[in-house]
A and B are shown apart, each in its own frame.
Chain A
Amino acid sequence: MSLIDTVVPARAPWSAVVRAGEVLTITDLGGNQAVDFLVFDAADPSLRYSAPDTIQGQDSVFLTTGSILRDCEYGPLMTVVADEVGRHDTLGGACSKESNTLRYGQHTWAQHACVENFLAEGGRHGLGKRDLVSNINWYMNVPVDPDGALGIVDGISAPGLSLALRAERDVLVVVSNCPQINNPCNGFDPTPVRMVVTR
């Protein structure tokens, strides 16, 4: 049974509570659309997603089927139960107006960025700047080269590919459908994504 079935427009934020045992399926409708993703314990949002704890619990810096998304005290929040892409990023964080000025130049200051979405959508749930930490970037391709070079490169997703996340407890998911246009994370053309929650 579908509890939620919605399309998040290009560049928009989105959030939902996903109850323990429910499954959130995210579909990359247009292909190579980065979905910046944070997840919190719905009852105690000080327990929030932790990228370091998540990769401590597995043998790779990439996320895919079987990855357990852990909170900052190492507790499981969600598990990746299906993934048609193969790997996703949790090292690169979210784009912001501020980091855009460093990466591309001051001319990008006026542009929309994921942190704007996280602040706006998080604020609706009482979350603020201190609650924003290194996030997941579903569908974003961020290799680490042998010399340590890390970069956002052309994606490996395609239109219609999906992934599914099972909630291990009641969680609040906060998403920014990434508006970035200065790197290939959205194929230079932000597109909508579909969110379906099933029991």
Chain B
Amino acid sequence: MTTTSTGTGTTAGARAHARAQEADARGATATLPTRPASAWPAPPEGVDPAAMVHAEVVAGGGYTHLAVARGTHVRLTDLAGDACAHVLAYRLDRPWERLNVADTVKVQWQVYLTAGHLLLSDQGRVLASIVGDTSGRQDALYGTTTRARNEERYGDGAAQGESPAGRELFALAAAKHDLARRDLPPSLSFFQGVRIDDEGRPVFEGSAGAGAAITLRAEVPLLLLVANTAHPLDPRPFTSTPLEVLAWRGEPTAETDELWDATPEGRRAFVNTVTDLAARGIA
């Protein structure tokens, strides 16, 4: 609470009270966006502070959303070891084209996504590439949590409650872009791993510990929705710690990059993508 307030019984007092808050809060809150992002104190190695376009620490149980240009790199970091970044991706310029998790795992013949894998849209194109992964604990099968099941498991699943459901957070993030619950397909999650055993049963692995990071590269103008809340298979009492989200300007995957030709499926996805972007005058 501010110490400079002279009371909020008048508009002048209320204005003074509101205006005093920014300075009073400086340094007191760890989970906040840094704006402009160029003011972020520790850009990733080799990144010019001026190239930073987003810097934020999302609280456990919080969400964010980023609209970024093609080529932008987005790094998610599990600061304390118990973040779980549930992610949905859309074409920013035509959001009816969106992440298709089933196509992503089927086309790439792999359910454990890591660096070198692509996030594919329902239109046979690349939305984003995974260009860095120091975690190795990801899940493409179990989606996110629902309010009903969180109420059953924790007693609460509301977005502003003690144990927010990922779908409730996604619904709010989506609404900021005029998207509705019908526009929320199955999502991916990063930092809390699930392995499938020989019988098809899930084995929850948990995280790789504090500091693990995953870096995505936008291959199209991209909308990312990020909900940071406990994984649906996490057996513990509700646990969710802060997630750092940094983004900076960069270049999309080029035909000369190793990733372009890493697999025939990926090559065709990149070709489909640049063909579409070229027709629209985007690339």
Contact = CB atoms under 8 A, between A and B. Distances in A.
Contacts, number: 131
B272 interface: yes
Interface in B144-175: 144, 146-149, 167
Contacts of B102: 51, 91-94, 134-135
Contact of B109 (A75, A130, A133, A150): A150
B112 interface: yes
Contacts of B106: 91-93, 99, 103, 150, 152
A72 B122 contact: no
A61 B101 CA distance: 15
A60 B201 contact: yes
Contacts of A144: 111, 196, 200
B110 A56 contact: no
Interface in A42-73: 46, 50-53, 55-56, 59-62, 72-73
A129 B102 CA distance: 15
Contact-residue size bin, chain B (C-beta under 8 Å from the other chain): 35 or more
Residue among A62, A97, A103 having the largest count of chain B Cβ atoms under 10 Å: A103
Interface of B: 96, 100-103, 105-107, 109-112, 120, 122-125, 141-144, 146-149, 167, 180-187, 196, 198-202, 232-233, 265, 268-269, 272
Interface of A: 46, 50-53, 55-56, 59-62, 72-75, 87, 91-94, 96-103, 105-106, 115, 129-135, 144, 146-152
13 contacts: A52-B187, A60-B202, A62-B200, A73-B148, A91-B111, A91-B141, A99-B103, A102-B103, A106-B268, A146-B198, A148-B196, A149-B109, A152-B106
